[in-house]
Structure 1
């Protein structure tokens, strides 16, 4: 009976199955890719780091650090820093990361170059490896030269990849690799330069790296150095991409939920139409179990077949993820296929389809044989206890599945709560609209408009499920666009003369006046000239910093090892506000030194207004008192500082400057950079317009990935819509035929259906966008703490687009009625 009935209803059942297939495909593809990603990180952890472990420091190594490194005998070393380089061939300049390597690094993995031999020969020939994208950008080829500070080197080859880097990480400052022996000759490492020293080690398999890490870490930390093993690297990468996989899993799970809701609604209508047939079966002697099993077998079959097809599609889809994420990954992901996700897909399809169909299926249990004579809309209602038990089972299953996906009970509970709230809001809006229309029914409207509104609360209506499906899918993709706007607002750069878009770093004191004159000669403004003095904390509230470093009870000790780049000025910036104390702008000779510190520094060092901090300023101890605490917006692309001194204190201290100016176009920027790099090779220049473009490109790539997952939800919602509309097709056909019989014209029937679907599509997509607007507003206010100006794309594109899609699908239902006579349609449907 199950097989025969399924054959007779194959169109409807195939649409049910499509909902399951899409959801399972999304879950399986992401699960399989996440598993492959973690396995690859573990297998390639040494290749990612290029060594077994590395010791690094952001200052010239102390005597103690040198002793530790020398005792371990490093196999390779590196000094890296960010600087400007020039191409003599065409005068091009660019901010790059210069990496001076010595030794046979990497020990694992390879330096990918073109030609291949350049990865080895550059050390002997004294050449440079230049980022491949950079060479294309400036039309440079191997054999041309590159100027790094005072040194001009031949280009041995283009650098495609080096262990530990990604396309995203090298976007702002592409890597340039040169032999370490040329670093000193470049004369780029001057006072205040930001540099990093690395020492690479290769050890035997028998060496216990975890024990070595445990012994060396505290010793190196005391010297402001650190150790990083390939084991820690793999753990850190695993944690980073685990969060990405969690998000993608939730997006896939929502797509699956939408499919399950579609099944529940469609099965509800499907079973309702079968009640008379079930009553007849019971009159012929069929038991409750038999009538229940007939339809249970059908739904279980749909779940198993849909789960299998979805799992197979998911296996194919996960091959696409490495293409989407390659710019974010420091290695190539090797895809392998396991049986576990396929089995999971089949079981998930079975459990989800049966569980969400259980409530309408139970209705078959309570059909009375007598109802063959009096089937009505209120017949065969299951008891309230049974209904509540089914709802509780669904929530428990969803919670357990979420825990399995997220590995965190609280996150799972939060996700289920938010999902229930979202579904409840959408369903509540739909119910309120129906009740509102019923209560305030526009009796004076025309016949077609009134009839279309009546269809919204007629028997077997699909208003609630369609609005939920359309609204949730629309909400997901709209939230993406709104969130992207918030992120872009944090890095917004106005192209006006009032906003700096060029930052000139590492300007030495003797160069300051000449560089300012150079900028003014090009008719560009000097928007700011910021002096910077390097210092370290020596004592906090009469306690030596060296003693505080040993205190394991302190939660955040990073600032204790920090070399501060501080400044002095007499005014606040637009990125900071005093939240406690009083701002002091200037001090006279011999007055106590009062400083202002950032809120995060105060929290980390556990100090407040009136506490004292002794700084070591280039070997001179300086006692200061905290006069004010500032809240700093670190997201703004401008120099911000943890410690700010008033004027009249640091003017005679060793210092360098950062100069801010503004250019109107790319040509002016290139001209200024070319001129300054030629005369002052030690300075670094950051063009914020290029940084903004890179950030926007990164966000676009992230958006594309999230859009891809939102596509599953939207597509699932469309499948649910088609299935729901097709399910009620037969009743609508009879209604339309009856309307034609009593004199309604094709135009009127078309208008009735069009108004109904137009209302459903408009309400569902509008509520979804408004829900996304509300959630994004909360995100902006509580998380990003940023003003929120919503994008118009969801209102201008999604709202009309989804509404028209719903309208198009709905109108395909009545083609049969419009093209045939009423008697022909009734005979065919009968």
Structure 2
């Protein structure tokens, strides 16, 4: 019976299916790509590291670390990595690069992909350099040209296409240049205070990595070194991309929920028209259960078919993801079929269809056989208890699915609450709008205007579901647009002379005055002169750091114990800081601990408060300090921020280096200054913030494009819900149209009524969506990103009228077919 009745109503049921196809396609495509990404990372974990495991430190291995490495059979290769300036003799241009000084046959897995291919083998034997392929193109370099690193000039043996240990975004900021390790000491770049990373690589395919990590890593922690296995590295990399995947999954899931709203509305109209048939079946002896199951099987079947179609589209769609995200990934993604994503798509299709159709389906349960004889459409009293159970089931499913996507109870709960609040506000506004129109109906308006308003609260009206569909889609797009705006604003710099756009790192004490003179000779200002001293924690309160490391029950964050802090000294706050507790200007008293200021994250992870003592190892000298104040630091601000700040008058004589900043008015003066400084001070690294900001804006644009593309799924789903809602109320529209034409209304009058009705719905739905996105963006800016929010006018003047116009066009296109129905069709009760 379900099959026979379904065939007769095939077109209408196809619209139910269309409501969820896009949402399922979005979820499946992202789920499948995430699974493929995870598998690729797992399968290529050795190639990503280039070894089975490594031991790394920011200083050369001491005797204890060397003895630990000897007990493991000795390192098979090693390298030192650091940022430095490279000068290209062919053009005189300079570039911040990541120097990788390699010794040994690294990598053991994967390969150095170079052009020519044999350059990967020859560069060490020929004392040459492999230069990032993008840099080669950017500066028009060729094999045989030279690159100067510090005091050493290397011939370019080949261009470096890919290398283990280099990530997509990292190489965009500082592209890699690989050279033999033996020349690093003579280059003059291994200066005290420079941020160096020594890595010792091991090839040991048969070793138990989990046991090794458990036994060796604690021993290395005591020596300020660390052990990384290829499995742990790939897990960290996987988690990084999981976060993006989870967010996109939620956007896709919202699109699916929006489609389900369309299902509920469409099934409501569909079942309402079937109630007479249900009453006849009950007169013939059908039970409640039988009539209920007939239509439940129909909806479940359409849900399964929608799941199959959506899953197929999703699997095809994921093929485009590597093209969009490839530059963020350190390897080529191989796409394969994800069976988990297929199961998710099919289960979602059936489960979501049935869940959201249950409420209107319950109407069939309470239909009386006497309904055949009754003219009125009274279906009996529905069970309020059953409706509550259905609503709870929907909310529970949405929560469980969100929890599965996010793997975080708090975030999943917040997501469900946010969805409920948004849906409730939109539904409440639609009900309020209908009541206001009904109560304050403008009786003096023209017939066409009055009739268009009457359509908003007539029986079988679609005001609530259309406002929900339009509002949610607009809400998503508006929120994404506003968020993109303030994220870009957060990373942008003010274009004035007081804003630094060139930063010079690792300026040694003996170089500081000469560099200041060189910068001022170019008529450029010195904006910042920041001293930096490196130190480590030796004691926290009354416990030594080594004792805390050995305590398996400690809850102090591990990074605090192993971190080499780079601190400065000053007597005032900067723009990115806000004092939370204590006094920044506490006096330094003779014989008393030195008062220091900690950032709130350090105080939290070290579990200290104002008044607690800390002992720092300042390059071999122990210094007792007391927490004098705690600051809230905006780490997203593009300026020099510090976890620990000392007062003035304490560290001035300590070994230190400096960071200088200036403002170059244009690219030409910036390039000239960089060339001169690199020639005079080869150890100094120069960061051009204009290049960094261009990179950041490019990344944000790509992320914004991906997220907006997912929001497009939501609005497209909303359009399909709109089409489905209009199509499913076609009988009512045909009847009204015919009756109006019978009493003398013209086709253009009926079209004008429809145009006004859909214009009201489009403006109200899109307007509410924009206003809700404005509120959500303000909350995101304040609580999550902690940044000022100045809304853009684009959503108000482009998105709102655009969506309203789209709704108008779709509504009119559906009503044109209604006008083609002859009046006698309805009068003879022969409507098909």
- CA distances 1:661-708 after superposition (whole Å, capped 9, x unpaired): 112222222121112112211111111122122122222222222222
CA distance in 2, matches of 1:399, 1:629: 38
Deviation at 1:592, TM superposition (A): 7.1
Provide the residue aligned with 1:76 in structure 2.
77
Deviation at 1:559, TM superposition (A): 2.6
- CA distances 1:343-401 after superposition (whole Å, capped 9, x unpaired): 44334322322332222223233333432343434434433233223323333443444
CA distance in 1, matches of 2:539, 2:305: 70
Task: Call closer, same or farther: CA 1:686–1:825 in 2, change over 3 Å.
Answer: farther
Provide the residue aligned with 2:519 in structure 1.
519
Provide the residue aligned with 2:214 in structure 1.
214
Q: Answer yes or no: is the 8 Å Cα contact 1:495–1:664 preserved in 2.
A: no
Select between 658-667 and 49-58 the one with higher mean Cα deviation.
658-667
Task: Call closer, same or farther: CA 1:515–1:413 in 2, change over 3 Å.
Answer: closer
Provide the residue aligned with 1:355 in structure 2.
355
CA distance in 1, matches of 2:491, 2:396: 42
CA distance in 2, matches of 1:486, 1:671: 33
Deviation at 1:780, TM superposition (A): 1.9
Unaligned residue ranges in structure 1 (runs of 5+) = none
Q: Output aligned runs, 1:807-826, within 5 Å.
A: 807-816=808-817, 818=819, 822-823=823-824
Provide the residue aligned with 2:415 in structure 1.
415
* C-alpha RMSD of matched pairs (Å): 2.5
Task: Call closer, same or farther: CA 1:44–1:377 in 2, change over 3 Å.
Answer: same
Provide the residue aligned with 1:451 in structure 2.
451
Q: Output aligned runs, 1:367-766, within 5 Å.
A: 367-541=367-541, 543-552=543-552, 553-584=554-585, 593-766=594-767
- CA distances 1:520-562 after superposition (whole Å, capped 9, x unpaired): 2222111121122223333444544433443441421423333
Deviation at 1:263, TM superposition (A): 1.4
Unaligned residue ranges in structure 2 (runs of 5+) = none
CA distance in 1, matches of 2:286, 2:546: 85
Q: Answer yes or no: is the 8 Å Cα contact 1:507–1:683 preserved in 2.
A: yes
Deviation at 1:57, TM superposition (A): 0.3
Q: Answer yes or no: is the 8 Å Cα contact 1:586–1:648 preserved in 2.
A: no
Provide the residue aligned with 1:203 in structure 2.
204
Select between 112-121 and 728-737 the one with higher mean Cα deviation.
728-737
Provide the residue aligned with 1:99 in structure 2.
100
Q: Check if 1:299 corresponds to 2:264.
A: no
CA distance in 1, matches of 2:560, 2:819: 76
Select between 357-366 and 590-599 the one with higher mean Cα deviation.
590-599
Calculate the TM-score normalised by the size of structure 1. 0.94
| SS of residue paired to 2:360 | helix
CA distance in 2, matches of 1:218, 1:254: 45
Q: Check if 1:64 corresponds to 2:97.
A: no
CA distance in 2, matches of 1:821, 1:617: 92
Task: Call closer, same or farther: CA 1:579–1:284 in 2, change over 3 Å.
Answer: closer
Select between 68-77 and 170-179 the one with higher mean Cα deviation.
68-77
CA distance in 2, matches of 1:446, 1:567: 75
CA distance in 1, matches of 2:559, 2:11: 64
CA distance in 1, matches of 2:129, 2:150: 13
CA distance in 2, matches of 1:589, 1:366: 87
Q: Output aligned runs, 1:11-22, within 5 Å.
A: 11-22=11-22
Calculate the TM-score normalised by the size of structure 2. 0.94
Deviation at 1:285, TM superposition (A): 5.5
Task: Call closer, same or farther: CA 1:688–1:733 in 2, change over 3 Å.
Answer: same
Deviation at 1:341, TM superposition (A): 3.7
Provide the residue aligned with 1:39 in structure 2.
39
Deviation at 1:90, TM superposition (A): 0.7
Task: Call closer, same or farther: CA 1:214–1:590 in 2, change over 3 Å.
Answer: closer
Q: Answer yes or no: is the 8 Å Cα contact 1:123–1:178 preserved in 2.
A: yes
Deviation at 1:283, TM superposition (A): 4.7
Task: Call closer, same or farther: CA 1:120–1:376 in 2, change over 3 Å.
Answer: farther
Deviation at 1:739, TM superposition (A): 2.1
Select between 329-338 and 117-126 the one with higher mean Cα deviation.
329-338
Q: Answer yes or no: is the 8 Å Cα contact 2:96–2:685 preserved in 1.
A: yes
| SS of residue paired to 2:171 | coil
Q: Check if 1:188 corresponds to 2:189.
A: yes
| SS of residue paired to 1:113 | strand
Q: Answer yes or no: is the 8 Å Cα contact 1:750–1:811 preserved in 2.
A: yes
CA distance in 1, matches of 2:394, 2:369: 30
- CA distances 1:256-290 after superposition (whole Å, capped 9, x unpaired): 22222211111111221233344445455655455
CA distance in 2, matches of 1:531, 1:28: 52
CA distance in 2, matches of 1:260, 1:221: 53
Select between 119-128 and 529-538 the one with higher mean Cα deviation.
529-538
Q: Answer yes or no: is the 8 Å Cα contact 1:430–1:467 preserved in 2.
A: yes
Task: Call closer, same or farther: CA 1:292–1:375 in 2, change over 3 Å.
Answer: farther
Q: Answer yes or no: is the 8 Å Cα contact 2:502–2:662 preserved in 1.
A: yes
- CA distances 1:174-193 after superposition (whole Å, capped 9, x unpaired): 11111111111211111211
Provide the residue aligned with 1:797 in structure 2.
798
CA distance in 1, matches of 2:559, 2:742: 82
CA distance in 2, matches of 1:826, 1:36: 59
Provide the residue aligned with 2:176 in structure 1.
175
Task: Call closer, same or farther: CA 1:630–1:257 in 2, change over 3 Å.
Answer: closer
Provide the residue aligned with 2:337 in structure 1.
337
Q: Answer yes or no: is the 8 Å Cα contact 1:84–1:94 preserved in 2.
A: yes
| SS of residue paired to 1:497 | coil
CA distance in 1, matches of 2:124, 2:319: 38
Task: Call closer, same or farther: CA 1:272–1:162 in 2, change over 3 Å.
Answer: same
Task: Call closer, same or farther: CA 1:493–1:409 in 2, change over 3 Å.
Answer: closer
CA distance in 2, matches of 1:401, 1:2: 30
CA distance in 2, matches of 1:123, 1:584: 54
- CA distances 1:773-801 after superposition (whole Å, capped 9, x unpaired): 22222222222222222233322332112
CA distance in 2, matches of 1:461, 1:109: 63
Q: Answer yes or no: is the 8 Å Cα contact 1:267–1:357 preserved in 2.
A: yes
CA distance in 2, matches of 1:143, 1:258: 60
CA distance in 2, matches of 1:527, 1:616: 30
Deviation at 1:734, TM superposition (A): 2.1
Deviation at 1:2, TM superposition (A): 4.2
CA distance in 2, matches of 1:21, 1:522: 63
| SS of residue paired to 2:168 | coil
Q: Answer yes or no: is the 8 Å Cα contact 1:377–1:459 preserved in 2.
A: no
Select between 569-578 and 465-474 the one with higher mean Cα deviation.
569-578
Deviation at 1:304, TM superposition (A): 2.2
Task: Call closer, same or farther: CA 1:826–1:146 in 2, change over 3 Å.
Answer: farther
Select between 345-354 and 184-193 the one with higher mean Cα deviation.
345-354
Task: Call closer, same or farther: CA 1:599–1:351 in 2, change over 3 Å.
Answer: closer
Deviation at 1:87, TM superposition (A): 0.8
CA distance in 2, matches of 1:96, 1:401: 44
Deviation at 1:721, TM superposition (A): 0.8
CA distance in 2, matches of 1:411, 1:607: 28
| SS of residue paired to 1:153 | strand
- CA distances 1:730-765 after superposition (whole Å, capped 9, x unpaired): 211221232233233333322211111111111112
